[in-house]
Each structure stands twice: as structure tokens, then as C-alpha cells.
């Protein structure tokens, strides 16, 4: 139950993110989001190591994880973008804010959202990452709106995105690069607290995003090309 409580603490962090957003403190919200990322990246490994599913079979940890992920990765980041004035004004901004909420609601209810070979199917609702770059890079409302629209559409495109802590292919590389990206995240936030974030570090961190997307597309295409071709059925006379 301690592991489940560790996972559930993400809901409290999401609450604190929303408070920071309404307080107009985007940097504090992003620090809290970083803590939520660390918890989400480690709770699954703890649960598997301690065999929580076998110990407490009556409790659905996967459902808890989905609830926490939706609040911390989708709802709170969209609130942050809305309250911070990073979206267009009026109905257009409201519509753009609704797109991630609706698209991710669909995705989190798909039974194949996490594939048997440990990939995410469709854009994995990393709206916290989107909000992070919008804020540290100081992106305008138009650019932010385009990113939200494109990523919302990508939820429905069947690309298999790497699940950094579980995808077996390139797993060590994925974990190392993810850890380096988290370090860059913290460094950029520290810089943003004192002024402007370094454009060099922003671009360096985006190399990881490019690697992540490129590897995901590559593995999706390779996986499709290796699918066995079904043979036509023969009908006996």
C-alpha cells in the first residue's frame, strides 16, 4: 500500500501545480511537475520489484496510475497554459485548451493505449513537456496553439512511442538519455528562476525529444515491415 500511496501522491502534486498556476507562478508549477515526473518514472519499477499486484490483487494500481497521469500530465499542464496567458484569447484559446483534454480522455480509455510490447500507442499525452517548453522558451500564443492542435491529432495516429522505463529495445540508452533530459529540465528551470534560460541548453534538450520521436517512428515502421504476411485460406473440396 505504501507503493500505491507513493503513486497517489501525484494527485496532491497536481493540486499544488494548479494552485501555483492560479498564483501566476509558472516556474513553481514546473518544479512540482518535475517531482511528479520522477514519481511516475519510479513507481512502476517499485511496484514490479515488490510484486504489489500479487500482494494486493484487489487494488487496481494500473487504474490509479492512469488517473494520476491524466491529472498531472494533461489537466494541470493545460490549466497552467491557460492561466499563464500562453493561449490565444477568447473562444479560440478555450477550444485549443479543450483539445488536449478531450483527445487524452479518449486515449486513456483505449485498451491498447499501452501495447503488449510496452509502447504507447499514439502521442502519449506529454502535455507537461509541451507546457515546459512553451514556458522556458517563451513561445507565443499562436505557436503554442499550433503545437496543441498537432499533438492532439497525433493522439489518433497509430505511432508506437517508446515507454522509457519499460520498452526493451534501446532500454539502457533510453534510460540514460531520459535521466540527462531530466537534469537539463532542472537546470533550465533554475536558470529561468534567475532570468532567461540558455538557448543552447534548450536546443540540447530538444535533441532528446528528436531522438525520442525519431526512434519511436523508426521502431513503428520496422515493426510493421516485419509483420508476417497472412496466407490466403484454402478451402478443401
Is residue 12 within 8 A of residue 20, CB to CB? The reply is no
**pLDDT bracket for residue 232 (50, 70, 90):** very low
* Tens of pLDDT, residues 112-143: 999 999 999 999 999 999 999 999 999 999 99
Average pLDDT value over all residues in the chain: 92
Kindly state the average pLDDT of the residues 174-179: 94
pTM assigned to the model? 0.90
Q: Using alpha carbons only, what angle is made at residue 125 by residues 124 and 130, rounded to the nearest 5 degrees?
A: 120
Task: Give the domain ranges of the chain.
Answer: 2-160
Cβ atoms of residues 160 and 124 within 8 Å: no
Looking at 1.10.20, 1.20.120, 1.20.58, 2.40.128, the CATH number of the domain 2-160 comes to 1.20.120
Amino acid at each position: 500500500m505504501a507503493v500505491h500511496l507513493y503513486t497517489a501522491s501525484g494527485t496532491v502534486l497536481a493540486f499544488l501545480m494548479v494552485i501555483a498556476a492560479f498564483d501566476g507562478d509558472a516556474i513553481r508549477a514546473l518544479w512540482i511537475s518535475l517531482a511528479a515526473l520522477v514519481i511516475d518514472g519510479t513507481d512502476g519499477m517499485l511496484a514490479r520489484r515488490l510484486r504489489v499486484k500479487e500482494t494486493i490483487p484487489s487494488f487496481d494500481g494500473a487504474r490509479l496510475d492512469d488517473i494520476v497521469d491524466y491529472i498531472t500530465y494533461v489537466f494541470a499542464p493545460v490549466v497552467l497554459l491557460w492561466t499563464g496567458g500562453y493561449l490565444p484569447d477568447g473562444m479560440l484559446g478555450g477550444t485549443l485548451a479543450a483539445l488536449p483534454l478531450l483527445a487524452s480522455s479518449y486515449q486513456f480509455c483505449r485498451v491498447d493505449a499501452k501495447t503488449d510490447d510496452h509502447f504507447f500507442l499514439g502521442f502519449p499525452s506529454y502535455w507537461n513537456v509541451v507546457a515546459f517548453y512553451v514556458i522556458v522558451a517563451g513561445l507565443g500564443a499562436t505557436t503554442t496553439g499550433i503545437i496543441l492542435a498537432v499533438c492532439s491529432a497525433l493522439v489518433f495516429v497509430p505511432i508506437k512511442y517508446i515507454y522509457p522505463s519499460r520498452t526493451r529495445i534501446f532500454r539502457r540508452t533510453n534510460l540514460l538519455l531520459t535521466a540527462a533530459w531530466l537534469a537539463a529540465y532542472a537546470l533550465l528551470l533554475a536558470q529561468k528562476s534567475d532570468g532567461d534560460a540558455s538557448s543552447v541548453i534548450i536546443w540540447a534538450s530538444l535533441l532528446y525529444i528528436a531522438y525520442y520521436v525519431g526512434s519511436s517512428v523508426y521502431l513503428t515502421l520496422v515493426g510493421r515491415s516485419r509483420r508476417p504476411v497472412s496466407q490466403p485460406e484454402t478451402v478443401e473440396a
